[in-house]
Amino acid sequence: MPSWKIATVQMDCKLKDRAANLEAIRKHLHEAAAKGAQLAVFPECAVAGYCYESKAEAMPFAETLPGPTTEALSIDCRQLGIWAVVGLLERDGDDLFNSCVLVGPDGFKASYRKTHLPCLGVDRFTTPGTRPFAVQDLGGLRIGMNICYDGSFPETARIFTLLGADLVVLPTNWPEGSISTITCLMPARALENHIFYAACNRVGEEKGFRFLGRSRIFNVNGELLAASEDDRATIVYADIDPAKARDKKVVRVPKVFELHRTNDRRPELYGPLTATERD
């Protein structure tokens, strides 16, 4: 099974300027493709910006799906033979969603709506996603899409794993105060599921928030493959082998020290995880 070169595009975004952001995204997509990337991941809300003060303020910068962003990216992805995951704001009737789209050589393939919403930025006014988690097959690489705070909930990555994902991608807007999330949670998601994990954060400042960058890509052992260690605009690349994610059996010493991250589960004991009662 061939490896895939993936890229996380750590970029700044301009609040309320979809045209400028989309132009920058397309430029970076061409740059990533020129370096051999087959999949490029962009930050959360990369098209519209994040720090809105109300739903009414954000709604004019949301779009239906498919829409103008997916139409423009379809042209580039077809020309370049690349896949792209891009964060944006989605409008569906009166609902506003923090979403990301998956676009490839054949056009718009799928979208994901952020499921877990923090009290931060536009997420204070968006509707939580309710669609079942789904894995998308890019033709040799199977991915699951989460957004930012979703990565703090291990259930999401585990579901993607059980659905056959090789890689989970996480467009994010990590601001100051998120260092522990960056350094601890993402490698744990990769290790506990024996999958690759790619988190793409933005940089720059918006409405008093400074975003930390530090995008990173982890292998199936939770080890760092590639990373940015600062808040400057850059593109982080790594080669990943889907076959390694699909072989869940870890053999340290045959018949003496062996692990299987999915077969060793005890789901009959996990009932409290699905309890809906809250304090």
Catalytic residues: 44, 114, 148
- Both tokens of 251, joined, read 């053999």
How many CA atoms are closer than 13 Å to the CA of 61, on its beta-carbon side?
29
- Sheet containing 39-41, strands listed edge to edge, beginning at the edge strand earlier in sequence: 107-113, 95-104, 83-92, 39-41, 4-10, 234-240
- Give the phi and the psi of residue 43 in degrees, each rounded to 5: -70, 165
| Contact yes or no for 222/190 (Cβ under 8 A) | yes
Which residues are CB-contacts of 215 (< 8 A; sequence separation ≥ 6)? 8, 10, 198, 199, 200, 201, 227, 228, 234, 236
Q: What is the DSSP letter of 182?
A: I
